[in-house]
Structure formats: structure tokens, C-alpha cells
Structure 1
Amino acid sequence: MKRCLMAFGLIALIAFFGSCSKDDGAAVVPPRDYTVQYASEKDSIEKYLKNHYIVSVDADFNPVFATITDAGTQTSIWDQTVYPLKNKVVTSTNAANNVLYTVYYLTFNQGVGNAPTRGDNVLISYNGMTFDGVSFENTPFPTASFSLGETIEGWQNIIPKFNAGTYVDVPNNPNPATYQDYGAGVMWLPSGLAYYNSPNSSLISAYESLMFTFKLYKAEFVDSDGDGLLNKDEVGWDGDLTSIDTDGDGIYNYLDTDDDGDGYLTATEITIPGTGTGTNNPAQYYSFADIPTCSSGTKRHLDATCHN
């Protein structure tokens, strides 16, 4: 999955691997203006939502959509209230792509476990489809977790709105372990938050809006920069990793080993005194809530004038 949903920072530097190799997809075409392109796609996405309805959602949260043929009995995705249509306004991390995107999505089940940030590891089953129902990538039985930060940007913005499930393995039961109460939904993505002019499959076109159904089985909090703080403690309230770059060096805190740029590693500044020295005395770190604050009221690893 991480191969086929690689996040595209710079279009010209995209690398394709395995089943998503360059030979499998359509030829790269020159990029269009992001604003003009999104205006067209937003209209198409909203027309889809207003002209299609939810036929069914089964017990495993697999939806079926169809074109409305009887407006008197079939309520559009846009207007139905069983699974109220939601949206999130997002921006890209690509400086050239400065559009405010409205991403529409439905929540079939919220989930009960952890909600990941875009830098955490996730175990997800999913089906990527075109608006005419062609499945270009389907992983119904995932076997390995991957970093959400390595997926397309639409995923990084919407998956953190859901919670993982609960792992269930009944002793002495011959049936395989399962997940229950997991987050499940569907998102409709404009190409500017997906593959834009470089589709990953010959089944989709350049500049094509896409939809993904998904189930979030597991979310694992990680510490990407090894500074002693989990990514979830170095991001904004909505799991938006782009929101915090304390020292303004262009490296977001969850990837920055010196968050305030004072020359002292974050790991050093949050080490509990008396640990990390001598034999059999590994470093122990303050939890985020317990990190000492400076006179400014700011935690010391985020204040360049105050350090350990």
C-alpha cells in the first residue's frame, strides 16, 4: 500500500516501485495550474455526491453506491442523514500547491482505539476506485503496518479523523484473530491531494478525482525523530504535522531533533535528571505533560532562551 500511495512532495521527483512502477501507469503530463484544476474537480466531486446514493452498507462497513434513478425514493449522498456528509478544509505541503481543498468523507464507524497522526503507523484495508466504479487498487486483508506519512496527502488528512479498532484473539479458537469496532469510512479526493498529473496506475487518468473506502484496524504511535517524544505530542490538535515548526527551520518538530534550534538536542532537554549516565542507567524522558517549563511558560525544549 505504501508503494501505491506515496506522498508526492515534488512531482518531478516521484519514484515508482514494484506494482506501481512507472511502466504500469499513464505517461506523466505537464502539470496544470492547481487552482484552475481544483475548481473543475470540486464541481465534479460535488455532482457525484448529489447524483449518487448509498444503496447499502453491510455489517463489515462495505458500502455500495449507485446513480440516482428515482429522486423520490433515493436520497443523495449529499442530502442523506444516516451517515452525514462531512468535510475538512486542507492545504498541501507542496508550496506550489497553495489551494484550499475541501475534502468530503463519510464515517460509517468511528472506531474505539487510537487516532493516528499522519506520522504514525497504521494497519488499513482499503479499496481505491474511480468515480465510475473501477477498482484500481484493493487491499482487503492487510498483513503489515506502514507509515501514514508515506501516503498521499488526502489520506494523511482524513485517516487521523478516525480511530483504530480492538484486537481480538480468542484462546483455543481455531479461527484467526480479528479486529472489532474499527474506524471505517470513505473519502473523495481531488487529484491535487492524490496523484495529480502522475497516476500510479493505467486504470486512472492524470488529474482524476478518486474515492477510497477504508477500515482502520490499528494505529501505532511512533517517535519519528527519536527525540523521546511521540509524534502525537509534536503535532497540532488535529494530527496536522505541518502545524508546528518551532524554530522555523523548515523541519517540522516531529522530524526535528532540536525543536527550538538552540543547539541542545530535544532528547537532552527532556531527559529526567539522574538518568542516562553510568552503567545500567538508561536515559528516561519526561512525559510531554511533565516537561519543565521556562519563565516564559513555554516547555524548555521549545524555548531557545531556556535549555537544560
Structure 2
Amino acid sequence: MNRSLKALGLIALITLFASCKKDDGADVTPPRDYTVQYAAEKVQIEEYMQTHYMTVDANFNVTFDTLVAGSGHVSIWDQTDYPKISKNVYSVAEANVPLYTLYYIVLQQGVGIAPTRADNVKVAYRGQLFDGTQFDYNPLGETPLNLSGTIEGWQEIIPMFRPGVYVDEPGSPNPPSYQNYGAGVMFVPSGLAYYNSGSGNVGAYEPLIFSFKLHAAEYLDADSDGILNINERESEFSDPFYYNTDKDKGDVTLDHTVAYKDGYAPNYLDPDDDDDGFSTQLELIDPDTDEEYPSFEAIRTNICSDTGTIKVHLDPTCHPE
């Protein structure tokens, strides 16, 4: 992956490193106060969206230009051709405390299953600064990268889209391509990017703009418990960081920062999802056949106690024989 997608910092439980890292011995400016810095950048991001317009071609390539009065163009902020969405998120870094508002534009939603922040993806993208400088460009998006090794802005926004379909028609003169992929634009404050460290042509405290196309996704099992990450979240587009069903927490959604302070991992990083002393993998055996359930959908409910619709691996009263 490119230098511009290095991780800002990952929690110890999933230290999955990007293939490129900061240069050893590089000078790092002492960090500014996160809350003060973000307040200034939020104004900058919103002002940019209100004073610039975007042009989108048939292949969802995006260009940005300054809005001129009387030109007939509509600002990014006010345009209605594509949904403008905001997502409120916290950083996983303990010292990074602001509640961030991440703005993004949906150019096309995509048709596959949305990945999680711990899955592999193929993404074509362009990264630029707010002065228009392009600092990174990957027009093909053929190299898989793990989202957990990217900046936090990517980990939050890419999973809000679905991948496309790979098309290779035998005998066709056209090269293979991806179709119906998710495509969008994200505006990332530096606190969810490189903050005071910078990266390559990105300086310290630089908010970033990415236009991107989510071509493909590979769905992984981060904790090797037999259940894919995409099945260890509450619903599609929800963040698996926030889903934890350990028995002493109840079947509830937790703020991941609280969960980690208390020593609890979310389900997708927890090999014993109901904290009953038996690994999730051991609980995925159908007692009627003594074989593994053939799919996540096939995992039984209500075979040990009257627990509603909870699946057996989330039921602390249900243990393997």
C-alpha cells in the first residue's frame, strides 16, 4: 500500500501493520491539543465544502473547483445530486478525545457486502490537500490492503460503502473491470489521519480529501473464531468495534473505548464471544450432527435456554458437549 495510507495508530489487540511505516528517526512535532485543533479544522472543512463545487464524470472520477458567483455551479455543501452525509466518530487513541464529524459524499453505494475495518479491500483513490495538491493517486485499485492498517478516516468511511462486481467476459475485446462498485468522497480531519506527524507530501495538521472507488472486499476472521468479521457486528454498515456481547456486559452495544478500559474486546476480536470459558469455535458444532454449522445463517438459536433469537455462540448458558 502507499505511504499515505499508513496507520495513525492501532490498538494492541489488532496490531496489523501496513506494509509501509514512518521513517526511523523522523522528527515529530509535539502534538497540539486535539480539541482545539479539530475545532479549527472543522471550520476549514465546512468552509471548503461551501466555497467549492465538484464535477463527477461517468466513471465517478471527481474534480474540485472554486465556486464563482453567477457561474451556475452549486457548492459541495448545497448540491443535491449526491447524498452528503455526516458521521460522528471517536478515535481509538485514548488521548484523541474530540467527537469528530466526518463528512462524506455517496456517489454510488455499490452492490456487495460492506466490509469491516478489519477486512481486506481493493480501492482506487485520489488523495489531495485542501489547496488542491495531489499527494497520492492509485487509479487501478488492484492491490489488496487491510483497512486496519489505514488511517482512521478510511476505517470509518470505506465500510459505509459496498464493493462492486468483477467482470471478465470471455472473448470480449474489453479488459476485465469492476462494475457497480461503491464510490464516494471523504473529508478527513487530521486527527483521523496523520495529525502532527504528517506523511510524505502531507504536512502536520493537514485535513485531507479522498475520492475513492471500492472495487472489491475480502472478508476475514480477525480473531480466528470461525465467524467472519462481517457477522460479528450488529448490522451492515455498523462498526464491529461497538459490538460486545460478553455475559457480564449483557447483550448490549458498548463504546469501544469504554470496553477496552474495562478489559473487554468487541466480538470480532474476542475468541470467546459470550465469555463462558469455551471458545466460540468450539460452540459452532451442531449437536444433532456433530459437525460444524455450514454457514453463519445456519447457527442454531434457543437450543440451550429460552434466550429469544440469540445464537448459541452468544449464549453463556450453552456449552459444547
* TM-score between both structures, scaled by the size of structure 1: 0.87
The alpha-carbon distance between structure 1 residues 26 and 131, as it changes in their structure 2 partners (threshold 3 A), is farther
| Separation (CA, whole Å) in 1 of partners of 2:18 and 2:115 | 26
Shift of residue 253 of structure 1?
A: 1.1
Contact in 1 for aligned 2:141/2:215 (Cα 8 Å): no
Structure-2 change in CA distance of 1:15 and 1:179 (3 Å): closer
CA deviation string 1:205-237 (max 9, x = no partner): 111100001001112222222212111111133
Q: Which runs of 5+ in 2 are unaligned?
A: 247-258
Any conservation in 1 of the 2:128–2:136 contact (CA below 8 Å)? yes
> Which shows bigger deviation, 178-187 or 91-100?
91-100
- Deviations along 1:12-64, whole A, 9 cap, x unmatched? x998864x5427x973111122111110100000000011112x211111111
Question: How big is each residue's C-alpha offset from its partner over 1:134-183, in whole Å with a ceiling of 9 and x where there is no partner?
Answer: 11111111222222222111111111111111111010234421111111
Deviation of 1:72 (Å): 5.4
Pair 17,181 (structure 1): closer, same or farther in 2 beyond 3 Å: closer
Query: Counterpart in 2 of 1:188?
Result: 187
After TM superposition, the structure 1 = structure 2 runs for residues 8-19 of structure 1, keeping only pairs within 5 Å, are: 8-9=8-9, 18=20
Do the aligned residues in 2 keep the contact of 1:271 with 1:285 (CA within 8 Å)? no
* Match in the other structure for 2:214: 216
Shift of 1:10: 6.1
Alpha-carbon deviation of 1:303? 3.3
Counterpart position of 1:165: 164
Classify 1:288/1:251 alpha carbon distance in 2 versus 1 (closer, same or farther; 3 Å). farther
1:260 to 267, 274, 291: 274
Give me the whole-angstrom Cα distance separating, in 2, the residues matched to 1:296 and 1:14: 36
Residue number in structure 1 paired with 2:315: 303
Q: Secondary structure at the match of 2:68?
A: coil
TM-score under structure 2 normalisation? 0.84
Residue 48 of structure 1 aligns with an amino acid whose one-letter code is: Y
- Which deviates more, 139-148 or 244-253? 244-253
Q: Which has the higher contact order (CA 8 A, sep 6+)?
A: 1
After superposition, give the CA deviation of every residue in 1:271-298 in whole Å (9 maximum; x if it has no partner).
Answer: 223445xxxxxx4455246333333333
Q: Percent identity?
A: 50
Distance 1:157 1:16, change over 3 A: closer
How do 1:27-46 and structure 2 match up within 5 A? 27-46=27-46
Match of 1:292 in 2: 301
Q: How does 1:76-155 map to 2 (within 5 A)?
A: 76-155=75-154
Q: 1:3 to 1:285 in 2, by over 3 A?
A: farther
Mapped contact 1:270–1:286 kept (Cα < 8 A): no
Residues 111, 163 of structure 2: 8 Å contact kept: yes
SS of residue paired to 1:290 = coil
Q: Structure 2 counterpart of 1:40, which letter?
A: A
Equivalent position SS for 2:29: coil
Q: Any idea what the Cα deviations from partners look like across 1:50-84, whole Å, max 9, x if unmatched?
A: 11112x21111111111112255222111111123
Aligned CA distance change for structure 1 residues 286 and 80 (closer, same or farther; 3 Å): closer
Unaligned runs of 5+ in 1: 277-282
Question: Aligned pair in 2 of structure 1 residues 292, 236: CA closer, same or farther (>3 Å)?
Answer: closer
CA deviation string 1:179-202 (max 9, x = no partner): 11111111000011111111121x
Does the C-alpha gap of structure 1 residues 151 and 10 become closer, same or farther in structure 2, counting only changes over 3 Å? closer
